[in-house]
Structure 1
Amino acid sequence: MSFTEGKTVRKRPKYLQIIDYIKEKIGNGEWPIGSKIPSQRTLAKHFEVNRSTVITALEELTADGLIEGRMGKGTVVINNTWTLLAKNSSPDWDQYVNSGIQQPSRRIVQEINTSESNPELIQLSKGELSNEIFPLAVMKDIMGKVSQNIEAFGYEEPKGYLPLREALSGYLRTIGIQASPSSILIVSGALQALQLISMGLLQRGSTVFLDQPSYLYSLHVFQSAGMNLTGLPMDKEGLLPNHIHMTKGERGRAILYTNPCFHNPTGILMSERRREEILTASEKNQLPIIEDDIYRELWIDNIPPAPIKTMDKNGHVLYLGSLSKTLSPGLRIGWMVGPEPVIERLSDIKMQTDYGSSSLSQRVAAEWLISGEYQQHLDYVRHQLKMRRRHVTIALETYMKNAAQWSIPEGGFFIWLKIIPSISMKLLYKKALAKGILLNLGSIYAQEKGNYIRLSYAYASLEDLQKGIYELGLIIGELASR
């Protein structure tokens, strides 16, 4: 349940403010019967009071018959201000929520997603570019240009705005991918592409082979569709394809997902040789590949090896790209490249789900590509990431040399930290959060061995990056000395 509204400023005693707040939420139907209210700690923090004040408020609401503490569930709403007098009860929304097909995110992932909107925290977890890097002036110019030339527009054709697909066709040629506009589908970010694949190409019980660790483990896009994730080990060159072992029943019911450029969360850049080996294994096993290449343009030292898709002559690879990591996640513009029958199928499903990505965002994205501003912006982004990576590397050497091990990534957003002392990672997470530092633990990504943290150097300010790493070093030292 979200709890992000601003604090109410009143002269009434704090415990009465809490009562009014909760009653308003319940009375408006925002917190229906069966829903769990925020914890005492969260309420105390929100209203800047001691937990005893919160307890006083909750006791009065309990006496009024509105809430009830339940073992293992926390405090839940059992009535509202009008059903206390009504003869008919409201629907049991809790039953509906728990029976939905889409699995909820893990609790820690939900907490991180909520905390990432808190500007007071040092965001060492956030996988997006800093606001300081956002090209605000150019974006205003491009939006102004688009608005001056705009005409009445409605739903786009199923595959997306044609000028954008034409511009992407030209852009993809620069990285070696030959794709006509008819084999490109515009999606609302690469995540939607994965959702469309899960709905349109795979059946329940299918197997998704993937890197382990992987960002996909922090989502439930495939699991919610009834599919099984099978993790494959990695080395410094990327996913190891010789670990793909398919049963007879899996043929035609499996797909391989990999993130070859500046892998999330490890930052590994897959070698050219490994890309060739993966495609060979794919063709041998008749195993389609999802190549998630959203970090490709974030190279710092050298241009990465060509995408797997460039070697694909038989239509084995579905190639994903996006503007979310390089330009703006708010545009919600990504793309998928694949065989035309597949793109036709998935474009039909996309029309069934949202009738197409934003027409305005697609026009803005097209102008970025056509004008040449996108390539200039990428040059600036790479320069900024190089400076940030150096800044963080110095901070790690200064404050974490004896606490962690790491490799310097050749691009992307992330440094994969292995914590050397044997400490509780959950306790590390909690203590860091109490110090105003948000972390992503390796366990989120199914890192089963060792203690790992995914550290992002892309979002927080340089000052916050140094402060966060300094504090992290102190916390690890404290925990290790116990």
Structure 2
Amino acid sequence: MWKPDRQSNKPLYEQIADYLEQRISYGEFPPGSLLPSERKLAEQLGVNRSTIIQAFAELRSFGIIESRTGSGTRVSRTKWGATPKHTPNWKRYAEGGSFLPNPPFMRKIREALTDQPSRIDFASGELAADLAPMDEIASLMSAHHYTSYLGYDNPQGYVPLRETLVSYLKRYRSIQTSESSILITSGSQQSLYLITQCLLSPGDAVAIEDPSYCYSLPMFQSAGLRLFRLPVDQHGIRPDDIRTLYKKHRIKMVFLNPNYQNPTGTVLADERREQLLEVASELALPIVEDDPFSLTAYEGNPPAPLKSLDTVGSVLYIGSFSKVAASGLRIGWMVAPRSIVERLADARQQMDFGLSIIPQQVAAQFLKSSHFEPHLERLRIQLQFKRDLLIDTLRKELHDSVIYDIPHGGLHLWCKLLPDVNDGKLLDEAIRRGVVFVPGSVYGSDSSFVRFTFARAKNDEIEPGISRFAEALRSLTSINS
């Protein structure tokens, strides 16, 4: 006898409604047939009668069943007849499928910003318009003749862009590669999606940092992967933890963001990098290195990527144009063994037949241009100014209520709140006051952490934004006290 799953996030009445609808559609309860009584069905399924009443109400709302006083509840005759026409149950379709929606907090943040764009944004992980090289790119686009060919391009990506990236990666990231080992993607998230969908199988165990941006991405759960955490301290993850997870769970891949990690801003210590690569080589374990923030190093001396130290080919390297130039161009890249690049290029071609060629041409021109290095220098200065402005305001508004480590690159400040507050209530209160942030629980931490992204807010918004956040925090702590 089927029973509802009490551990599921789906309400019991919805599970029961789905179960009954399925039995009806299979013909086990033909049109016009009498369903068991509410009381009997409640006894059979081990639930309260009120739960069955809710399930029946759900089915009645879709015209699947009919109830009449004194006659019981029957399967609708017209719903399942040959002539009546009915709209598909789009709500059920929207809630179905294997690809999960974004976490509720992320959807709430997006809705808050869409509903009222004037809210101060400490949540969006992208550059503000005044940090992007808008004028430089506009100048390049007017000065260069871009191809008139608008058909499908090479599934690995525009060849001149891949050739440009070979030089870029050698010069700025000390990575030796060839254009045949580079795949152009629609940002770093598409790289992660392709890896989870094509190189791993449902049930595989993978390791991610704790806290981690990866924890906020439903693509891992949608792929049916089992996630195991690697705690991050002030020096990054501990390589021995990987060996422990491998012994216990036979993890098949490790996902890391070692430079200015999202959300903590930490940099993996040099000695741990060497140990990490030794462990990966010993276990023949692939490492996926996501490296979007390195070139934002405020002092102009970016930490080396793991890939530059990789002598045995353990590292799949992911980079992106989004955090150093323009997220709207949607240009990312992956450096991987040629067999992996060909496999993922084939999969991506099935998805979209390749990226638009024009953004790839723009990116190639910008990376080669005399504009690129001055833009990076200006970006670093502006990001450091925003970081310092954020920290100064936090000290003034919440000096005894928040602790943090000062990042030396990246876009984020990771903070621990000393008052014990519910992060959902805090987000609601902050939204009401006109400011948004990301609760730490989105990244797998407890509710005492928050992430402020300082790259999106304008300079003159940072102080009032933190002031509003502080008001929201004080309003909740005063209620609790």
TM-score, structure 2 as length reference: 0.80
* Residues 1:381 and 2:379 aligned together: yes
Shift of 1:352: 1.0
Match of 1:410 in 2: 408
1:127 to 125, 135, 144: 125
2:341 to 331, 340, 343: 343
* CA distances 1:233-278 after superposition (whole Å, capped 9, x unpaired): 1111111121122456955x61000001111111112222222121
From 104, 108, 113, the equivalent of 1:111 is: 108
**How has the CA–CA distance of structure 1 residues 461 and 78 changed in structure 2, closer, same or farther, with 3 Å as cutoff?**
farther
Alignment-mate amino acid for residue 355 of structure 1: F
Cα drift, residue 464 of structure 1: 1.3
* Contact 1:271/1:305 (8 A) holds in 2: no
> For residue 87 of structure 1, what is the amino acid of its counterpart?
P
Contact 2:397 2:467 in 1 (8 A): yes
Q: Partner letter of residue 91 of structure 1? A: P
Partner of 1:179: 177
Distance 1:212 1:115 in 2: 27
Residue matched to 1:313: 311
Deviations 1:174-207 (A, max 9, x none): 1210010000000000000011111211111111
Match of 2:191 in 1: 193
Provide Cα deviations, 1:418-452, integer angstroms capped at 9, x if missing partner: 1011222222111111001111000000003x601
> Which structure 1 residue ranges, 4+ long, deviate > 6 Å from structure 2?
none
Listed as ranges, the gaps of 5+ residues in structure 2 are: 1-17, 19-53, 64-78
Partner of 1:25: none
Distance 1:202 1:337 in 2: 18
Is contact 2:317-2:334 (8 Å) kept?
yes
**Comparing 356-365 and 471-480, the one that deviates more:** 471-480
Distance 1:263 1:116, change over 3 A: farther
User: Distance between the aligned counterparts of 2:370 and 2:186, measured in 1?
Assistant: 22
Equivalent positions of 1:197-236 (< 5 A) are 197-236=195-234
User: What corresponds to 1:437 in structure 2?
Assistant: 435
Match of 2:50 in 1: none
| Counterpart position of 1:357 | 355
CA distance in 1, matches of 2:399, 2:123: 20
C-alpha separation in 1, matches of 2:217 and 2:398: 30
Give the Cα–Cα distance (whole angstroms) in 2 for the partners of residues 111 and 442 of structure 1: 15
Distance 1:164 1:120 in 2: 37
- Alpha-carbon deviation of 1:89? 0.6
2:441 equivalent to 1:451: no
Report if aligned partners of 2:294, 2:303 keep a CA contact under 8 Å in 1: no
2:452 corresponds to 1:462: no
Alignment check: 8 A CA contact 1:403 1:477 kept: no
Counterpart residue number, 1:170: 167
Alpha-carbon distance change, 452 to 246 in structure 1, aligned in 2, over 3 angstroms: closer
Whether the 8 Å CA contact 2:133–2:326 is kept in 1: the answer is no
- Structure 2 residue aligned with 1:53: none
Residue matched to 2:148: 151
**Alignment equivalent of 2:299, drawn from 274, 298, 301:** 301
Contact persistence 2:434–2:468 (CA under 8 A): no
Contact 2:317 2:336 in 1 (8 A): yes
Change (3 A) 1:260 1:153: same
TM-aligned CA distance change 1:422 to 1:135, over 3 Å? same
Give 2:284's aligned amino acid.
Answer: Q
Aligned to 2:40: none
Which residue of 2 is the match for residue 475 of structure 1?
472
Aligned match for 2:138, one of 121, 130, 140: 140
Q: Which residue of 1 aligns with 2:279?
A: 281
Report the residue type matching 1:459 in the other structure. Answer: R
Equivalent residue number for residue 95 of structure 2? 98
* SS, match of residue 113 in structure 1: helix
CA distance in 2: counterparts of 1:387 and 1:432, whole angstroms: 24
Asked if 1 retains the 8 angstrom alpha-carbon contact of 2:415 and 2:451, the reply is: yes
On the 8 A contact 2:300/2:377 being kept in 1, the answer is no
> Which residue of the partner structure matches residue 395 of structure 2?
397
What does residue range 236-255 of structure 1 map to in structure 2 within 5 Å?
236-244=234-242, 245-246=244-245, 251=250, 254-255=252-253
What is the rounded CA distance, in whole Å, between the counterparts of 1:250 and 1:142 in structure 2?
Answer: 51
Amino acid at match of 1:455: F
- For residues 152 and 359 of structure 2, what CA distance do their matches in structure 1 show? 13
Output the CA distance in 2 between the equivalents of 1:249 and 1:349: 32
Unaligned runs of 5+ in 1: 1-33, 35-69
Aligned length: 404
**C-alpha contact (below 8 Å) 1:302/1:410 kept by paired residues:** no
Structure-1 separation of matches of 2:241 and 2:233: 12
The whole-number CA distance in structure 1 between the counterparts of 2:396 and 2:247 is 53
Q: Could you tell me how far 1:316 is from its partner in structure 2?
A: 0.7
Contact 1:406 1:417 in 2 (8 A): yes
What is the CA distance between 1:304 and its match in structure 2? 2.8
Cα separation, 1, equivalents of 2:387 and 2:133? 20
Deviation at 1:329, TM superposition (A): 1.0
Q: Give me the whole-angstrom Cα distance separating, in 2, the residues matched to 1:451 and 1:248.
A: 32
Q: Which has the greater radius of gyration? A: 2
Asked whether the equivalents of residues 188 and 318 of structure 2 are also in contact (C-alpha less than 8 Å), the reply is yes
Letter in 1 for 2:372: Y
For 2:321, the aligned partner's letter is L
Name the aligned partner's letter for residue 432 of structure 2.
A
Q: Normalising to structure 1: TM-score of the pair?
A: 0.80
The SS at the match of 1:399 is helix
AA in 1 matched with 2:152: Y
Q: Distance in 1 between matches of 2:186 and 2:113?
A: 21
Q: Look up the match of 2:14.
A: none
1:133-181 CA distances to partner (integer Å, 9 max, x unpaired)?
A: 22222121122234x3423231111211000000000000012100100
